[in-house]
């Protein structure tokens, strides 16, 4: 569902514009405090939306799910940006690498929340992304448990670990792909290509360290931009066409992403 289709009433996002002047950590803090306010201002039980297979209304639960979806993405993006800064700035410091491991854990939790709350018309695709996330988490725990070194250092020095950990980022790439298709977002398109390029490039040794660092920084920047733009996007488009969900649930054959 493209942004604005079938929507008669949209939430204004100008109230969030001051956030752009804050650091990533401040943005995350302000967003998490702003989410309940966004929910209160954007809820309207009387609004009727025209769907492909009939009219529908948006419930408070639908809006809450979108808020948690976006909040999870913001948490993941902030953790990724901080971890990237630590790796590039203090990569030789063991304490910093342990911090990166902790940030990765929070990143996984945020991503998991987003994957649980995301609205995708194709239920099998939704379940596949969740399975990818679960496989990646299990693999990450196993790798961290078996290696005496910090998790981030283990993954960097043993590229084959990407075959397990990579499932986490395959799930994340699935979100980017969904957002690129549904909303035609440039940063989502870039991330859909950039993430597998960096991971596969490191796995097979195609990239030099300098190129890898450049791609990592680009990933952090575009991920931050992606998460921020999701926060200020009106809520209804992220909920999607509920008449399509109802049609598919009732056994309809037409399916769209």
Write the burial class of residue 145 (CB in 10 Å: 0-12 exposed, 13-18 middle, 19+ buried): exposed
Answer for the pair 2, 237: CB distance below 8 angstroms, yes or no. Answer: yes
Q: Is the pTM of this model over 0.85?
A: no
pLDDT at 48: 79
> Which of the pair, 78 or 241, is modelled with greater confidence?
78
| Per-residue pLDDT reduced to its tens digit, 221-240 | 999 999 999 999 999 888 88
| Per-residue pLDDT reduced to its tens digit, 112-143 | 999 999 999 888 999 999 999 999 999 999 99
| Per-residue pLDDT reduced to its tens digit, 67-108 | 999 999 999 999 999 999 999 998 778 888 999 999 999 999
**Which segments of the chain are extended strands (E)?**
48-51, 54-57
Q: How many CA atoms lie within 13 A of 185 on its CB side?
A: 23
């Amino acid at each position: 569902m493209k942004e604005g289709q079938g929507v008669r009433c949209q939430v204004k996002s100008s109230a969030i514009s001051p956030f752009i002047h804050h650091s990533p950590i401040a943005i995350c803090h302000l967003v998490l405090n702003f989410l309940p306010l966004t929910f209160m201002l954007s809820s309207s039980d009387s609004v009727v939306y025209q769907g492909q297979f009939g009219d529908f209304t948006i419930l408070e639960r639908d809006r809450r799910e979108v808020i948690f979806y976006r909040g999870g993405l913001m948490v993941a993006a902030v953790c990724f940006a901080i971890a990237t800064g630590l790796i590039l700035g203090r990569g030789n410091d063991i304490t910093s690498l342990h911090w990166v491991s902790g940030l990765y854990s929070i990143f996984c939790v945020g991503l998991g929340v987003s994957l649980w709350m995301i609205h995708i018309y194709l239920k099998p695709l939704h379940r596949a992304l969740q399975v990818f996330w679960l496989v990646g988490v299990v693999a990450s725990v196993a790798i961290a448990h078996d290696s005496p070194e910090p998790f981030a250092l283990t993954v960097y020095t043993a590229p084959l670990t990407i075959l397990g950990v990579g499932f986490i980022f395959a799930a994340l790439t699935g979100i980017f792909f969904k957002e690129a298709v549904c909303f035609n977002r440039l940063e989502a398109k870039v991330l859909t290509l950039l993430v597998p390029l960096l991971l596969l490039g490191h796995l097979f040794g195609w990239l030099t360290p300098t190129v890898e660092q450049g791609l990592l920084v680009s990933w952090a920047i575009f991920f931050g931009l992606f998460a921020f733009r999701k926060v200020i996007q009106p809520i209804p488009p992220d909920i999607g066409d509920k008449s399509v969900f109802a049609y598919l649930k009732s056994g309809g054959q037409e399916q769209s992403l």
